Amino acid sequence: MANDSPMQHALRNIRSAARRGGLLTGARLLARRCRNPLQLATIAEDAALIMPGGAYVRARLWARVEHLVAPEGFLNGARARLEAICDSTHVTPDDARRWSILGRTLESLDRSGNWDAGPLIHASRSVLITAARQRSKAERYLRLAARLLRRNPRTTEREIHQAWCRVNGSQKANMDVIKPSDWWAFSRPKWRRDADFPGSIPGEVYANALYYFAPRKGIVVDAMAGSGMLRRVYRQRGLWQKDSAFQLKLHLFDIDPRRSYIRRHDARRQLPVRADWIFVDPPYFGQSGHLYKGGLATTRTYRDYLEQLYRVMEAMARSLKAGGRLCLLLPKWSGKKLGHLNRDLPGDARRIGTEVGLTWVDCAYVSRGRQQERGFGFQNIAAKRARRLVSDTCVLNVFENRMRSR
């Protein structure tokens, strides 16, 4: 032992500290006292093999390595010096940078004074790597991991990440929910319609409509809330909001409320609140009489339907603040037999929007997914025989109130 090198001696002290439960303290002291970046990098990679706690030590030491090599940033050959150290320790520069960033995050948590890193001794290497991938949210991820491990040291990496995704979402979920174009198709909706309310649309429609057309702060309204899908989607906004950080106040109304948190209101009258964003998914012409009673659902003629729709859109226009937006979701109506008239309901709704003083600003096309419904093949056969296109697309028309006051 007398012939041990300083690195071997330091590593032996870390292993000894780990057995005594003082691994984290030992790593912090070593990071502060050692001034040789190559020695620290070598110790970091050797310490990475220690379980538990090796991943924590590795991150703290690589942060110190980068500080010694580039205290003022990667200037005057600092990048080349770091690459030389990485080459000597068989670590890629990208990995070194990732561990360094994570180490600085851990340092910041230590300085905060309300942080106990002890539970992270039980965290696997993958937990810390996943935390580093969260970038600006790495501190929050580590706090969550430490809290869960404090309750149960056997909490797995998968359980930690599932708990994170329930609140904050994941990159995969964000990319899956939010569509990059004006064609929105959801083959496997995350928010499915409730069993007691067959008229619900996929929650992804609300998520995309909010993401693209709603303000980040303000009052939002679902004027025909149905099963309250908007509330469910907004409460799980971590799955789709990306970096938007929505802070919205929700109001849900319906002429026939099905949930305790939905207030009774007829959308043909002005709302009791002034809104920054309104979503309306009305009963569709000729398709909703078996789902709802009265109003748009039971109109007998297309003319009656448009008259009712006019009253709804006029009331919503009066309810919007200046600069507020209205999202209206409607399909065209296709007659089922050759010779029947087709009705361009989205086009007529766009005309009505102009008549009530709103400005059309955008639209998206939403797949209704009817082709995937069980038993729909028979309707396809009938449509082909009758040479009538089945209506399988809704149009989300977006209007804006550009009048100062109403």
What average pLDDT does the structure give for the chain?
Answer: 81
Instruction: Output the domain CATH number for residue 211.
Output: 3.40.50.150
By mean pLDDT, which of 5-9, 104-108, 247-251, 365-369 is the weakest?
Answer: 5-9
Q: Is residue 336 part of a domain?
A: yes
Q: Do both 212 and 163 map to the same domain?
A: no
Cα distance between residue 42 and residue 260, in whole Å = 62
Of 111, 132, 167, the one marking the end of a domain is 167
Domain with 289, as residue range(s), is 174-400
Q: Do both 285 and 379 map to the same domain?
A: yes
pLDDT at site 239: 79
Cα distance between residue 131 and residue 119, in whole Å = 15
For 8, which DSSP code? H
Q: Is residue 305 part of a domain?
A: yes
**pLDDT tens for each residue of 320-332:** 999 999 999 999 8
**pLDDT tens for each residue of 380-400:** 676 677 677 777 789 999 999
Q: Do both 202 and 69 map to the same domain?
A: no
Q: Do both 63 and 195 map to the same domain?
A: no
- Band of pLDDT at residue 173, cut at 50, 70 and 90: very low
Percent pLDDT > 90 in the chain is 31
| Residue 214 backbone phi and psi in degrees, to 5 | -95, 155
- Helix, strand, coil shares of the chain, percent, nearest 5, are 50, 15, 35
Q: Do both 252 and 366 map to the same domain?
A: yes
Q: Do both 156 and 188 map to the same domain?
A: no
Percent pLDDT > 70 in the chain is 77
Q: Is residue 1 part of a domain?
A: no
Smallest Cα–Cα separation from 262: which of 277, 270, 252?
252
Cα distance between residue 63 and residue 43, in whole Å = 13
Smallest Cα–Cα separation from 284: which of 330, 247, 235, 232?
330
Please give the single-letter amino acid code of residue 188.
Answer: R
Q: Provide DSSP, 166-192.
A: HHH--HHHHHHHS-SSSEE--SS-SSP
For 73, which DSSP code? B
Q: Is residue 306 part of a domain?
A: yes
Evaluate if residue 127 carries a pLDDT over 80: yes
Q: Is residue 242 part of a domain?
A: yes
For 237, which DSSP code? G
Cα distance between residue 29 and residue 16, in whole Å = 14
Evaluate if residue 128 carries a pLDDT over 70: yes
pLDDT at site 323: 95
Evaluate if residue 33 carries a pLDDT over 50: yes
**End-to-end Cα spacing for the chain:** 86
Cα distance between residue 98 and residue 202, in whole Å = 38
Q: Is residue 138 part of a domain?
A: yes
Q: Do both 375 and 235 map to the same domain?
A: yes
Of 133, 167, 201, the one marking the end of a domain is 167
Sequence-distant (≥ 6) Cβ neighbours of residue 213 within 8 angstroms:
277, 325, 327, 362, 398
Of residues 225 and 298, more confidence is placed in 225
Q: Do both 147 and 209 map to the same domain?
A: no
pLDDT at site 21: 46
**pLDDT tens for each residue of 261-318:** 999 999 999 999 999 999 999 988 866 655 566 677 778 888 999 999 999 999 999 9
Q: How many domains does the chain have?
A: 2
Q: How far is CA 124 from the centre of its chain?
A: 26
Q: Do both 55 and 189 map to the same domain?
A: no
Cα distance between residue 68 and residue 295, in whole Å = 73
Q: Is residue 72 part of a domain?
A: yes
Of 129, 152, 167, the one marking the end of a domain is 167
Q: Do both 140 and 20 map to the same domain?
A: yes
Q: Do both 383 and 269 map to the same domain?
A: yes
| Pairing of the two strands 263-264 and 247-254 | parallel
Of residues 119 and 166, more confidence is placed in 119
- Name the E strands within 81-196: 183-184
The answer to whether 300 and 262 have CB atoms below 8 angstroms apart is no
Query: 241: which 2 tokens?
Result: 């909001």
Mean pLDDT to the nearest integer, 177-194: 80
pLDDT at site 338: 65
Q: Do both 323 and 338 map to the same domain?
A: yes
Q: Is residue 236 part of a domain?
A: yes
- Band of pLDDT at residue 336, cut at 50, 70 and 90: low
Of residues 332 and 373, more confidence is placed in 332
pLDDT at site 52: 65
**pLDDT tens for each residue of 341-366:** 888 999 999 999 999 999 999 999 99
Look at the pTM and tell me if it is higher than 0.75. no
Evaluate if residue 143 carries a pLDDT over 80: yes
Q: Burial, 364: exposed, middle or buried (Cβ in 10 Å; 0-12, 13-18, 19+)? A: buried
Please give the single-letter amino acid code of residue 280.
Answer: V
